[in-house]
Amino acid sequence: MLIVNLNIRGLGGSIKARYLRHIIAREGANFACIQETKVSAITDARCFNLWGDNNVGWLHYGGDNGSGSLLSLWHKEAFCYDTHVMGKGYIVVYGKHVKINCRCVVVNVYAACSLSDKIVLWKELSDLKKASSDVVWCFCGDFNAIRKNGKRKGVSMRDSNTSEMRDFNCFIEANLLFEIPLVSKPFTWFNSNGKAKSRLDKVLVTEEWMQT
C-alpha cells in the first residue's frame, strides 16, 4: 500500500490543497498521513477536495485548537476501514489492504517537543501495538526526534537529546520496527535561515509490512 506522509504546516488555502492533490495523484497513493493541519475541525467536502475524489475515508484529530492536529485519509477502494484509536499526537487506523486482502494498521504521528510528552506518546503507541493481534504495522509522521548524532545539524546536543535518542531507539526496537530510508534529502526539517536542520519525519514498519 502506497502511503503519502506530509507535515503540511497548515492546510491554508487552495495552493496547499492543489499541492497535496498533485502528490497523491502523481504517486498513486492509497493512504495519506498529514501532520499539522492547524485546523480544529474539517469536513467531508474539504477532504474530498484534498484528495480529488469523493470515495475517500478520513479521520481528523483537532489537537489543541489546531495545534498538533492530524489528518488521515484513505481511498476506500484500496483500504477498508475497520476501527480506530485517537489520542494526543496520533491517529491509529485499523483496516484491510484490499488488493492483497491483508489486515494492517496505519499510525499517523505528530510528536510534541518535550521529551516527557514523547515518552508518554511512545508508551501509548507501544501499548496499542501489544494489545493488537495485527502484525502488519506502519508508523508515519513527524516524530520530532532523531535516532543518532549526525541527524541534527546546527543545534547544540544536550543531555536531553541523548536521552531522547536512547528512548526513541528503545521504542523502535521494543516494537520490532524498521526505518524506511530516505531516498534523496537526508533532512526533513530546516529553520528559516537553513543553518539548523534535522531528520524528524520517519516511516517505521514491521517486518511483515515489508513482506506484503
For the beta carbon of residue 61, count every other beta carbon within 10 angstroms. Answer: 21
Per-residue model confidence (pLDDT) at position 57? 98
pLDDT tens, 83-117? 999 999 999 999 999 999 999 999 999 999 899 99
Three cell numbers, residue 44: 467531508
Q: Is residue 197 scored above 50 in pLDDT?
A: no
Alpha helices in the chain (DSSP H): 14-27, 44-51, 115-131, 159-174, 207-211
For the chain, what are the domain ranges?
Answer: 3-211
pLDDT tens, 123-166? 999 999 999 999 999 999 999 888 875 555 455 555 457 888 89
Per-residue model confidence (pLDDT) at position 153? 47
Per-residue model confidence (pLDDT) at position 162? 84
Residue 91 main-chain phi, psi, to 5 deg: -130, 120
Using a cut of 0.85, tell me whether the model's pTM lies above it. Answer: yes
Return the SS3 of 153: strand
Alpha-carbon gap, residue 93 to 205, rounded angstroms: 14
CATH architecture of the domain covering 3-211: 4-Layer Sandwich (3.60)
Nearest of 95, 30, 84, 31 to residue 61 by alpha carbon: 84
